Amino acid sequence: MSLSIEKKRLAASVTVIGLFAVVGLIVWSVVEERAKAAKIETEILKGLTEEQLNEVLKSEATADRLTVKELSKDQQKRKSFLEGLREHLALAAQARREGFAELEDFRLNFEYKTDLLLADLYRVKLSQGMNRLYVVTKAEMEKVWEDPANEERFGKTMDALHGIRERASDAKGSRNPANYPRGEVLKKARDNFSRTMVLASMARADEEFMGQPVIPLRIKILEAGLLSNDYLIANYKDFLPTQAEIEAYLASHPEFDPKKKLELAKGVFAKVMAGENFEKLAEEYSEDARSSHRGGLYEGVTSGVLWPEIEEKALQMKPGEVHDGLIESEIGYHILKLMSNETKEGGEVRYTVRHIVIQKKFEEPGEELPGIPRPFMTPIEIAKQQVEKQKREAFIAQVISASPVSLPEDFTLNFEIPEKGGNKKEESSSQDTEE
């Protein structure tokens, strides 16, 4: 009897010990997860002060003074800059919480982009007092490949970058998959990699340079940009519009009804036939970016240059004549006036026309950038683009709401922007390698 009782007591003790062990593991797991989450929060860049913004932009001005100069003058550009920065930091915070920073492809991409950043900044430092950018020698670049670890790292980095491009292509449903670099493209990538390694190694060996507070800050901002990009790609499929959303958008935007383009073309044609100035009408209405600013003028045209429908009619008309109706082509509805024609020696015909076209497609909605004409899109393309934009913006707004970012409303630059040098566009054609 006593033996039976002892067995029961032993079994109960084992059960209790096992229960405590399980509870202990659960508690330890919770503590570990909380510690990990707390560590992640300490690694997240949650904002920038006006002083930090000045340090970052002062550093950037050494490499790209024109962009920084534009920010200093234009409040709207500063506002857009701050909005973009807020998005990057909030998305990056959420990406880090969800483990994106631990992914191998991200790590390799981030390491290489960090080296690129250090190389660019240190190259500017080395170029001070010179009338051109510092040039890495061919011998220095070749020495990089003497270390097998660099060859291995280059291969892994190229694989990671290709993987990131492939995921972006797949997410967007692109019909043009990302190609792995080969031939001249691969050779250029190897040259860029070795040049970057030389300069980044020099930068890391310079304690004074690396000790600048702005360096780790710029690296954190770079990391945020990469994380935010990866996070958007990972969630891209959630932004894709459904057929119902496309139809609803078009129903609520009758301005994109294709019939309206034909109605507009007929209206402009009526103005021409009523004797209004053809040149001014072309400047006002024509949707041909190549000629509208010249009053629709195409001068000394040879065979095969203009649309075949236009050429066919022009060769049948008399100088000064306006074609008696709209001419339809693949892109739209044309109004044509022949100015002159002549037959050169050898039988070559040259003709000059004024021309107005109302495209069947519509200009992309949105703000027009100076000097960059907006592309023309079909109504369905516009609907897809705008619905996707709305869903993406709603997603980003939700992330920002969950991950507030501290930034000033505006800022003033408290440093002098260089008057010369530090212009990426001006220096992009300079020699990068010295024999």
Pair 356, 334: CB distance under 8 Å: yes
The confidence band for 168, taking pLDDT boundaries of 50, 70 and 90, is confident
**Cα distance from N-terminal residue to C-terminal residue, the chain:** 97
Cβ-Cβ contacts under 8 Å for 67 (sequence gap 6 or more):
60
The confidence band for 4, taking pLDDT boundaries of 50, 70 and 90, is low
The domain 259-359 is placed in CATH, from the list 3.40.1130, 3.10.50, 3.30.110, 1.10.10, at: 3.10.50
Give me the pLDDT at residue 331, please. 94
Question: Token match 């383009």: residue?
Answer: 261
Q: How many residues does the chain have?
A: 435
Give the CA angle between residues 135, 138, 140 to the nearest 5°.
Answer: 85
**Per residue in 50-107, pLDDT tens?**
999 999 999 999 888 899 999 999 999 999 999 999 999 999 999 999 999 999 999 9
The percentage of residues in the chain with a pLDDT greater than 70, rounded to a whole number, is 85
Give me the pLDDT at residue 26, please. 56
Q: Is the predicted pLDDT of residue 108 greater than 60, yes or no?
A: yes
Q: Is the predicted pLDDT of residue 422 greater than 70, yes or no?
A: no
> What are 258-264's contacts with CB under 8 Å, separation 24+?
258/360, 258/379, 261/332, 261/333, 261/358, 261/359, 261/360, 261/362, 262/333, 262/358, 264/358
**Per residue in 111-145, pLDDT tens?**
999 999 999 999 999 988 888 889 999 999 999 99
Residue ranges of domains in the chain: 1-43, 49-240+386-411, 259-359
**Per residue in 264-278, pLDDT tens?**
999 999 999 999 999
- Supply the DSSP string of 170-208, one letter for each residue: HHTT-SSPPPPP-HHHHHHHHHHHHHHHHHHHHHHH-HH
Give me the pLDDT at residue 9, please. 62
Pair 333, 327: CB distance under 8 Å: yes
CA 96/CA 362 separation, integer angstroms: 40
Is pTM beyond 0.95? Reply is no
